[in-house]
Amino acid sequence: MNWKIKALLQKILSTTKLGDNLNHIPATLNKKYHYNVALYQTYECVRKFSYCNIDLSTNKTALEIGTGYSLISAAVLSLLGFQKIITVDITEDIQFSTCKKQISYLEEPDILKIIYPKSIFNEQEIKSKITQLNEAHTLQSLFDIFNTTYIAPYNFNAILKHSKKIDYIASQVVLEHIPSKILNELFQFTKEVLHKEQFCVHTINFIDHFANPGFFQDKSISEFNFLKYSDDYWNYWAGNSIAYTNRLSHVFYLELCKKYSLNVVDFIGENYRTRKGLDAKLIHVDVLKKYNSNINIEDLTKYQRGTLIISNT
């Protein structure tokens, strides 16, 4: 299906109050949706954490950027041993019923076995914490049990009111939805609040989301199709709260690290699906203008997804 059909629907939905929730409904119709979310979020949360050498035997605070519709990452950070968790988003999308369903799946052996090896708690302690979470009757009691603060909508000052310093910052497929100006603020904030020698891990999806699998997928386009367009044209179609992606590659994030003196421990680039390349000559000048240095244009389409591991030295 032509990507503009989905873009048009999202553009219309974004003008309604419930637009983002309605846009999210099709994904939740899958019977195994909540189990799949619990498994995926647990796996990704532990994978990112495992790139860092963080000693959880003393009190540590974690910050999650972009909570989305699930509290699984925050719960898993607590089960790993973080003492305090702050999770933030620009919109308040968390619902108690959804959280309860997903948290109940943390008891599944497939999921527990991802958490055990990296946690400071033993099997019995983890199970007992999950039992406590399952017994919560309100969202606030869930937050209290795993010492989590949810701020949505947030700003950086609001985070500072809860913690002046952070030991670990993580995000999962969020940064690509943030405009470059705010990304600059986020990286500057990271430099200021991240404790020395501590880590920040962002997993970023670099591809055109209109090429994502699903009913509305446009199978005819390259996964970097969106790089062909001017900023004005792209903003007309996707410059709304549901569809917005910044069209930035890993190169931009590496430049940000340099700008804010953050140490790049590693960048793990991935191509997780069949490639449908985009001729570099088709990349619009507005896209190229987003970069400071003399970039290799081929690098802008090198990775579909990547994990950036940063430390504050």
Question: Which stretches of the chain bind ligand SAM, using CB under 6 A?
Answer: 65-66, 68, 70, 88-91, 93, 172-174, 177-178, 182
Q: Find all residues with CB under 8 Å of 214, minimum gap 6, and list them.
A: 26
CB of 193 to ligand SAM, least distance (A): 15
CB of 241 to ligand SAM, least distance (A): 8
* Side-chain-side CA neighbours of residue 112 (13 Å): 16
| C-beta closer to ligand SAM: residue 156 or 291 | 156
Q: How far apart are CA 94 and CA 212, in angstroms?
A: 24
| C-beta closer to ligand SAM: residue 130 or 204 | 204
Cα→Cα distances 274→243, 271, 277, Å: 23, 8, 9
| C-beta closer to ligand SAM: residue 9 or 173 | 173
| C-beta closer to ligand SAM: residue 35 or 121 | 35
CB of 296 to ligand SAM, least distance (A): 28
CB of 185 to ligand SAM, least distance (A): 9
DSSP assignment, residue 263?
A: E
CB of 89 to ligand SAM, least distance (A): 5
Q: Which helix (H) or strand (E) holds 205?
A: strand 194-205
| C-beta closer to ligand SAM: residue 65 or 111 | 65
Count of CB atoms situated within 10 Å of the CB of 85: 24
Which residues does residue 305 pair with via DSSP β-bridges, in sequence order? 205, 270
Count of CB atoms situated within 10 Å of the CB of 287: 21
- Do 196 and 313 form a contact (C-beta atoms < 8 A)? yes
Question: In the complex, which residue's CB is closest to ligand SAM?
Answer: 68
